[in-house]
Chain A
Amino acid sequence: MGWLKRLWGMRKRDARDLELEEELRSHIEMRTADGVRGGMTDRDAEDDARRRFGNLTLQKERTREMDIVGWLESLMKDVRFAARSLRKNPGFAAVAILTLALGIGANTAIFSVLNGVLLRPLPYPQPDRLYWIWDSQKQLAQAPSSGVEFLAYREQNKTFEQIAAIRTLNFNLTGMGDPERVRGIIVSADYFDMLGVHPTLGRNFSDADDKQGAVRVALLTNGFWQRQFGGDPAVVGKTLTLDGGIVSIIGALPADYTPPDKAEFFVNPIYGVPELFSGFGDPRNHPLTHYLNILGRLKPGVTPAQAQADLAPIIARFGEEHPASKGHGVALQSLRESIVGDVRPTLFALVGIAGVVLLIACANVANILLARATTREREIAVRAALGATGWRLARQMVTEGALLSLFGGFVALPVAAAGVRAIVYAHPQGLPRLESIRLDSHVLTFAFAIALLTGILFGLPTAFRGALAAPGDSLKQAGRTSAGGLRQRWLRNALVCAEVAMSLALLAGAGLLTRSFVRLLAVKPGFRTDHMVIFSVAFNGPRYSGQHAASHIGEFQSVFDRIGALPQVESVAAANDVPLESEDTTSYPAVDGPSALAPDEKILVGMHAVTNGYFHDMGIPLLRGREFSPSDALRGPEVVVINRAFAQRVWPGDDPLGKHIHLFNGENGSAEEVVGVVDNVKHNGLNEADTMDVYGPWAQQPWPSLSVTIRTSLPVNTILPSVRTAVAQFDPNLPIYGVRTFDDVLNESLGARTVTLTLVGVFALLALMLASIGIYGVMSYTVAARTQEIGIRMALGASPGSVFKLVLAQGMMVTGIGIVLGAGAAAELAHYLRTLLFQVRPFDLVTYSATALLLAIVAFIACYIPARRATRVDPLVALRYE
C-alpha cells in the first residue's frame, strides 16, 4: 500500500521538502569532508563532491516524485505554471479561449439537439416495443386502417400485448366564450395504458367507455386544462361541446406528457366520432373508411418480422371479404423511427459540419501555440538542459493546451445554452421532440470531453516540438530567431491550408443550399400570390350533418357575398385547401371510355372542391372549357375540371372535354363530366413534381372544411373584424381559424429548409471568420519572424514593392492550395447533400467559383496588412533586431 503512504505524504509537503534538502546536502557535505581529509582544498573537495553527486536539482525532483502521488503533484505544478504563463499573455489567451468557446459551444449545441432527438429514449416504458401497424398499398406505403381491420387485428393477433388506435382530428369548440378550433385525438381506451401514462387528475379511459354508443369522455392535456380551466380540479365532470356534441371530462394528464400533434385533449371512443366526411355519411355506416392509425406493443421476445408474419394473413383474409381492400398488406414501423427517422440525415450532417468548424478552431489555436512556442524556444532549451525529459516538456505543453481548452469549454457553455434556446425558440418544422432538447448531464459530459480532447489535440504539435527540442541548437543560436526552421514553417502552413480547405467546403455547402433555396423561390406556383388574406372554417356539428348538411353548408355562400361586398375586396374564392398546403386528399378515379391508361391501371389524383370563379380569382389559367358557375348546382349534373397533367396522362392528344370519370368508386355510381382544363398548380409544395388534380364544384361537393382566400389590398388586421362579423351572422357557433397571408403559407412550406440553410450558413460564416483570423495570424507572425531576412533583402536592394509581393504571394499560394483541396473535398461531400438540393447539381460551377472567389478575397485582405507591415521594415533596425 505504498501509494497510501504517498497520499499521506502529501500533507506535510513543505516539511518533507526541507528534510530532503537536508539529506542530500548532508551527503555532499560528508563527501566534501572526506575529500578535505584526503588532502584536497575546500574548494576542490566541494567541486569533486558535487560532480560525483550529479544533478542535484534533478535528483531532488525525482526523489520528490517518489514521495508523493508522483504525477498528481507535478501535474498540479504544471497547471499552475500554465496558468501563470497564460496570465502573462492575456491577449493570446483571450483569442484562443474565445475561438475555442465558439467551436466547442457550437458543437455542444448541436449535440444537445442530437441527444434530445435521437439518443434519449422515448418517455414510455420499453419504448422500443411500440410499433405502428400501417396498411400498405401499392401507391402508399403507410396508410391508416379502418375500424373493422383494427378490431380484426386486435382479436386475431398472437404477437402483441396490446393494440390501440388513434387519430388526430380538429373540432369546433363552442360554449366557452368565442368558438374556437381545437385539435384533439380520438383513442381507443387502452392507449394510455399501453404507453404507461396515467392521469394526474380523475381516471383513465376504461373498456366501458370504449363501446359504440357509449357516452363520450375526454382526458385533457395539462396545457389545455391550465389554459381553459385554470387548472381547477373541479373540472372532472364538466363537459366540452365539440362539434355540437357533448363530451364529459374525466380527468387531466400529467404536465410532463407531450401529446402528439400538439393536441389539446383525448376523446374516447373512436367509434361514432362526429362525422368525418360529412358529405359522405357517418363512418359507422362505412366500416371501410380508413381513418385509424394503429399502434401496438409487441409481446416480450417477439421480433417485428414475426409480428409482420402474424398480421399479414389477417389483412389478407380481410381483403378476400372486402374487395376494395384487396391487395393491401401490413407494414410495421417502430414508433421511434416514425418520429425521428426523417430528421436523422440532416442532424448527422449538422454534427459533421459543427465538427469541421471545431477542427478549424483547433487549427487556429494550434497555430497560435506553435508561434508562441518559437518565442519560448530559449526557455524550453534551458529547461531541457536542466534535466527535464522530453516527456515532461511535452506534458507541460499539453497541460497548457488542456487548460486553454477547459477554459474555452467553460465559456462555451453559455454559448451552447444560447444556441439551444435559439433553436428551440425557432421550433423548426420537422424537428421532433423539441421538449427533450436541453443541456442535461449527457450534454455537459460531452462538452467537457470535447474540451479535453481538443486541448490534447492542439497541444500535440507543440508538444512534439518541445519534446524533440535539441537544447544545444537554440542556445547556440543566440541572436538569430529564425522562423522556427523549415519543419515548423511547413507545419504552420499546412494547418492554414487545412483551415482554408475546410472553410471552402463549408462555404460551398452553404452556397449550394442557398442556390437551391433561391431556385425554389423562383418556381412558379401556378397561381396569383399577391394580396391574399386566408382563413379557414370547418363545418362540424349537428347543423352540418345528416340529410340537410349539403344545403346548410351551401348557405355559406352568403358569407362569400358579404365579404365580397366589402370595400377594397377584389374577390373571394374558396376551396377545401390552399395550394402549397394541400390536405393531400386523393382518390383513384376510374375513367370512362378509351384512354391512355392500361386496363387495371390506377392513377393517384388530388381532389379539390372549389367555388365558382375560383380559377379566375386565384389566377390559375383556364386552358380549355369553362369555370364552375351557379348552373353547377347541388342537384345538377356532376361536373369536374381537370388539370393539364391529368389530361396529358389520361387523354394525350385528345380533347378531354365531354369525357367522364368516376371519382367516388361505387359509392353512388354516378359519373362526372369533364367541363374544363386548367394549368398545373403546385399543390403539395414548390419542390414537388406536378400532380394530377381534379376539381369539383363546391356546390356539388360541399366539403366540411373550407379555406377562403380574400384578394384585398387591406392588411389582415383591418379586414379580420368584418370577416368575423360575416361568419358570426351565418352561424355564431362557427369558429374561424388559421388566419394567414400567402407569406405565412410560403414560410410554412419552406420551413425546414430555411432552418437548415440558416444553420449551415451560420457555421460556414463562422468557419470563414476563423480561417481568416488563422491566415492573418500566421502571416503576421511569419513577417515578424522574418524581419531580419526582409531587412537583409531590402538592404541588398529589394524594393518595398517586391517585398510586398513576396509576402502576399506566399500567403496566397497557401490559400490557393487550400482552395483546390477544399473544392475537391466539397465535391465529395456535396454528394451527401443531394437530397437537400433543388435543381442544383452537387458540383455546381457557379457556386464553387463564387465561394472560391470570396475566400480568395478574404485571404487577400488577411494577407494585405502583414504584407504592408513588411514593406515598412527599416533595414537598419531589422539587422539589429534580435
Chain B
Amino acid sequence: MNKTRNDVLQGTLTLLVLRTLAAGPMHGYGITLHIQRVSNDVLRVEEGSLYPALHRMDQDGWIAAEWRSTENNRRARYYGLTAKGRKQLAEEEKSWERLTAAVASVLRYA
C-alpha cells in the first residue's frame, strides 16, 4: 500500500464518505467498495480505518446509523446522511473546489 497516497486519502475521507452516502444509505463495506469502484481502484482505503471515521461522523451528527439486513440476509449497520450532514457535504465540496483550483493555478504558473 502506498503510504503517502493513504495519508492524502485519510484527509479527504470525510468528504468521500459524505458524498457516497448522498446517494443513499450504505454499510461500511459497501462504502469501501463504492469508493474503490467509482475511482477505478485508484483510491484504496485501509478498510479498517473507515470505522473510526464513521463513528466520529455519527457523533458529530452528520450521519445516522441503524441495523438492517443486507440482500444476503446478513445483519449490517447502515449509515445514512442527515440534514446536517448534507450541509456539511456542501461546505466540504466547496472548500475542496477552492483547494484544487488553487493547486491548479499554482501548477499552471510557468
Q: Which residues of A contact B (CB under 8 A)?
A: 2, 5-6, 19-20, 22-24, 26-27, 29-31, 33, 52-56, 58-59, 62-63, 65-67
Among residues of A, the one whose C-beta sits closest to the C-beta of B53 is: A66
Contact check: which of A6, A19, A54 meets B59 at CB < 8 Å?
A6
Closest 6 CB pairs of A and B: A59-B48, A54-B48, A2-B59, A66-B55, A62-B52, A54-B46
Chain A residues, Cβ within 8 Å of B59: 2, 5-6, 66-67
Of B72-80, B85-93, B98-106, the segment with at least 4 beta carbons within 8 Å of chain A is B72-80
Contact B74 A29 (CB under 8 A): yes
Given contacts A33-B72, A66-B59, contact A53 B52 (CB under 8 A): no
Chain B residues, Cβ within 8 Å of A56: 48
Contact B74 A30 (CB under 8 A): yes
Central interface residue in B61, B75, B77, by most chain A CB within 10 Å? B77
Nearest Cβ on chain A to B65's Cβ, whole angstroms: 9
Task: Confirm or deny: B96 has a beta carbon within 8 angstroms of a beta carbon on chain A.
Answer: no
A29 to B27, CA, bound (A): 13
Contact B48 A31 (CB under 8 A): no
Within 8 A of A (CB), among B43-66: 46-49, 51-52, 55-56, 59-61
Chain A residues, Cβ within 8 Å of B55: 63, 66-67
Nearest Cβ on chain B to A617's Cβ, whole angstroms: 93
Central interface residue in A22, A26, A27, A52, by most chain B CB within 10 Å? A27
Given contacts A2-B61, A66-B55, contact A26 B74 (CB under 8 A): yes
Knowing that A26-B27, A30-B70, A59-B52 touch, tell me 14 more A-B residue pairs with CB under 8 angstroms: A23-B28, A23-B51, A27-B28, A29-B74, A30-B29, A52-B46, A52-B47, A54-B47, A54-B49, A55-B48, A62-B52, A63-B51, A63-B52, A63-B55
Contact B48 A66 (CB under 8 A): no
Contact A66 B52 (CB under 8 A): yes
Among residues of A, the one whose C-beta sits closest to the C-beta of B77 is: A23
Query: Count of chain B residues with Cβ under 8 Å from any Cβ of A?
Result: 21
A695 to B53, CA, bound (A): 96
Contact check: which of B29, B47, B49, B56 meets A26 at CB < 8 Å?
B29
Instruction: Enumerate 26 A-B pairs (CB-CB under 8 Å) in ascending A order.
Output: A2-B59, A2-B60, A2-B61, A6-B59, A23-B77, A26-B27, A26-B75, A27-B27, A27-B28, A27-B29, A27-B47, A27-B51, A30-B74, A52-B46, A53-B47, A54-B46, A54-B48, A55-B48, A58-B48, A62-B51, A62-B52, A63-B51, A65-B52, A66-B52, A66-B59, A67-B55
Contact check: which of B51, B56, B60, B74 meets A59 at CB < 8 Å?
B51
Contact A31 B47 (CB under 8 A): yes
Could you tell me the dominant secondary structure of chain A's interface residues? helix
Chain B residues, Cβ within 8 Å of A27: 27-29, 32, 47, 51
A789 to B56, CA, bound (A): 53
A24 to B32, CA, bound (A): 13
Among residues of A, the one whose C-beta sits closest to the C-beta of B28 is: A27
Central interface residue in B27, B29, B56, B72, by most chain A CB within 10 Å? B29
Nearest Cβ on chain B to A23's Cβ, whole angstroms: 5
Nearest Cβ on chain B to A17's Cβ, whole angstroms: 13
Chain A residues, Cβ within 8 Å of B49: 54, 59, 62
Contact check: which of A22, A62, A67 meets B75 at CB < 8 Å?
A22
Nearest Cβ on chain B to A8's Cβ, whole angstroms: 11
Among residues of B, the one whose C-beta sits closest to the C-beta of A31 is: B29
Chain B residues, Cβ within 8 Å of A66: 52, 55-56, 59
Chain A residues, Cβ within 8 Å of B27: 26-27
Contact check: which of A2, A23, A55 meets B76 at CB < 8 Å?
A23
A466 to B28, CA, bound (A): 35
Within 8 A of A (CB), among B28-44: 28-29, 32
Among residues of B, the one whose C-beta sits closest to the C-beta of A61 is: B52
Chain A residues, Cβ within 8 Å of B47: 27, 31, 52-54
A67 to B58, CA, bound (A): 9
A63 to B72, CA, bound (A): 26
Nearest Cβ on chain A to B33's Cβ, whole angstroms: 8
Chain A residues, Cβ within 8 Å of B46: 52-54
Chain B residues, Cβ within 8 Å of A19: 77
A598 to B56, CA, bound (A): 92
Among residues of B, the one whose C-beta sits closest to the C-beta of A55 is: B48
A63 to B59, CA, bound (A): 11
Nearest Cβ on chain B to A12's Cβ, whole angstroms: 15
Among residues of B, the one whose C-beta sits closest to the C-beta of A22 is: B75
Nearest Cβ on chain A to B104's Cβ, whole angstroms: 33
Among residues of B, the one whose C-beta sits closest to the C-beta of A30 is: B29
Chain B residues, Cβ within 8 Å of A54: 46-49
Nearest Cβ on chain A to B14's Cβ, whole angstroms: 13
A534 to B48, CA, bound (A): 91
A29 to B47, CA, bound (A): 13
A65 to B70, CA, bound (A): 27
Contact check: which of A2, A24, A33, A52 meets B51 at CB < 8 Å?
A24
Chain B residues, Cβ within 8 Å of A67: 55, 59
Contact B48 A24 (CB under 8 A): yes
Central interface residue in B28, B52, B56, by most chain A CB within 10 Å? B52
Chain A residues, Cβ within 8 Å of B75: 22, 26
